[in-house]
Amino acid sequence: MPIRFQIYLCSLSIAHLAEYLFVASFHTKELVWDSYLINQSKFYIMAHCIAANEYALEHYFCAHDLDILELPTFLLKKLTLVVGLGLICVGHFFRIGAMFTAARSFHHLVQYEKQDSHVLITNGVYAWVRHPSYFGWFLWCIGTQVVLINPISYIGFYYAAIKFFKERVPDEEYYLCEFFG
């Protein structure tokens, strides 16, 4: 199995295991199979299936042995691997860091009522970025497509993430202001 696909699968595993471990650590009563967030939506599953197939097709039809005359291609492939891996690592740092920093105050669903356990978090990764969980997830999902050198999925993931954030962040911001002023 090619190293790029191994990195992708490893990254997916880390992301979903972290989601599960977060719920297991701070919301134990809510812990179920779905806490892995693997099947969070049909579109999410479809996006990763498309990404895997895009990579497989590109790898099958475009992979060939590199020789010294193809130095620019070789450098581009190395650059995409390094940049993509960097995005993935920084993305994991912010996403996982946000969940574990906020602890009981972090939820996977927008909260419409303030619970006694809700606290406004301003330390850790929250001191650096307004929405570190979304920022991290965005970098991670884009990074996976850079590693795979998937131009079609890169564009798809980018626009899907932006659309998701435009729909979700205003509601979350509204309720945060309601809860904490």
Hey, what are 131's tokens? 């929405």
Higher pLDDT pick, 8 / 65: 8
What's the rounded Cα separation, in Å, for the pair 67 and 69? 5
Question: Could you tell me the CATH number of the domain that includes residue 68?
Answer: 1.20.120
Unique residue bearing structure tokens 């590199």: 66
Which pLDDT does position 71 carry in this prediction?
A: 59
Sign of CA dihedral 64, 69, 72, 75: positive
Which pLDDT does position 109 carry in this prediction?
A: 87
Whether the Cβ atoms of residue 133 and residue 98 lie closer than 8 Å to each other: yes
For the ranges 99-103, 137-141, 152-156, 173-177, the lowest mean pLDDT is seen at: 173-177
Structurally, the chain folds into a number of domains equal to 1
Mean pLDDT for the chain? 91
User: Residue 57: which domain range?
Assistant: 3-180
- Res 81 pLDDT > 60: yes
3-state secondary structure of 16: helix
Hey, what are 79's tokens? 């650059």
Which pLDDT does position 58 carry in this prediction?
A: 87
Which pLDDT does position 1 carry in this prediction?
A: 83
What's the rounded Cα separation, in Å, for the pair 87 and 142? 7
- Res 74 pLDDT > 90: no
Hey, what are 114's tokens? 């303030």
Distances from the Cα of 23 to the Cαs of 5, 27, 64, 162, in angstroms?
Answer: 28, 5, 44, 25
Which pLDDT does position 63 carry in this prediction?
A: 64
